[in-house]
A and B are shown apart, each in its own frame.
Chain A
């Protein structure tokens, strides 16, 4: 299975600023997935990122707030823009390297003050 390096592992940010989260995979993958886990909640899919095309966002998530970059088959970034305290969550990236397997990054714990 793939190994994902996700950075930063945690950050405390001022409201109104932006944070970019990076995910590096040790193998080429077609799709990368970004999730949000709000405190005490389940994982919610933000978007699916395919290399070479715009990300596909789930209902309730918009590109202006969560722009995603996917410059190649091993790397992606998620930016949380114009942050508010409600954006305090754990953000995770995930990939699938075969039909049945999914690998998750270790997550970015974001606190907005």
Chain B
């Protein structure tokens, strides 16, 4: 079975600072990994996904994540935080939709950005 652990339920940064949201996964088979963002009272928006093509994945809004098999990690980063980045971020794992497996989500990390 797959699982993800998001370290830190709440991360606070200043505007312009580096954003680092941590995600570690557990999977018995090569995983597919995803980061989603959810703004208050809105639905999920896909930021980026790792599908084994490249270990460094670039997403929307300047976010990127690096897949590190040796560390079983898929941390999300952004060089410079913007006030509009304040939201809830979810890491998720799957062994592939075609295999009939659902996305399994971590507990989420709330990102706060101060001016």
Instruction: Report the number of A-B residue pairs with Cβ-Cβ less than 8 Å.
Output: 53
User: Does residue A79 face the partner (Cβ distance < 8 Å to B)?
Assistant: no
Contacting residues, chain B, for A99 (C-beta < 8 A): 32, 51, 96-99
Q: Which of A43, A99, A104 has the most CB of B within 10 A?
A: A43
- Cβ < 8 Å to A, chain B residues 23-37: 32, 34
Tell which of B62-70, B79-87, B104-112 binds the partner: B104-112
User: Does residue A102 face the partner (Cβ distance < 8 Å to B)?
Assistant: yes
Contacting residues, chain B, for A69 (C-beta < 8 A): none
A94 touches B96 (CB 8 A): no
- Cβ < 8 Å to A, chain B residues 4-50: 32, 34, 43-44, 49
When chains A and B are docked, how far (Å) is the Cα of A4 from the Cα of B107? Answer: 25
User: Does residue A106 face the partner (Cβ distance < 8 Å to B)?
Assistant: yes
Contacting residues, chain A, for B56 (C-beta < 8 A): none
When chains A and B are docked, how far (Å) is the Cα of A68 from the Cα of B108? Answer: 27
User: Does residue B94 face the partner (Cβ distance < 8 Å to A)?
Assistant: yes
A50 touches B100 (CB 8 A): yes
Among B44, B49, B96, B98, which residue has its beta carbon within 8 angstroms of that of A104?
B44
User: Does residue A13 face the partner (Cβ distance < 8 Å to B)?
Assistant: no
A43 touches B97 (CB 8 A): no
- Minimum CB distance partner of B109 in chain A: A42
A100 touches B32 (CB 8 A): yes
Among B34, B44, B96, B102, which residue has its beta carbon within 8 angstroms of that of A33?
B102
A42 touches B108 (CB 8 A): yes
Q: A100-B97, A104-B43 are in contact. Are A45 and B32 (CB under 8 A)?
A: no
- Minimum CB distance partner of A96 in chain B: B97
B90 touches A43 (CB 8 A): yes
Q: A99-B51, A102-B97 are in contact. Are A45 and B104 (CB under 8 A)?
A: yes
User: Does residue A60 face the partner (Cβ distance < 8 Å to B)?
Assistant: no
Q: A31-B97, A42-B108, A43-B90 are in contact. Are A100 and B51 (CB under 8 A)?
A: yes
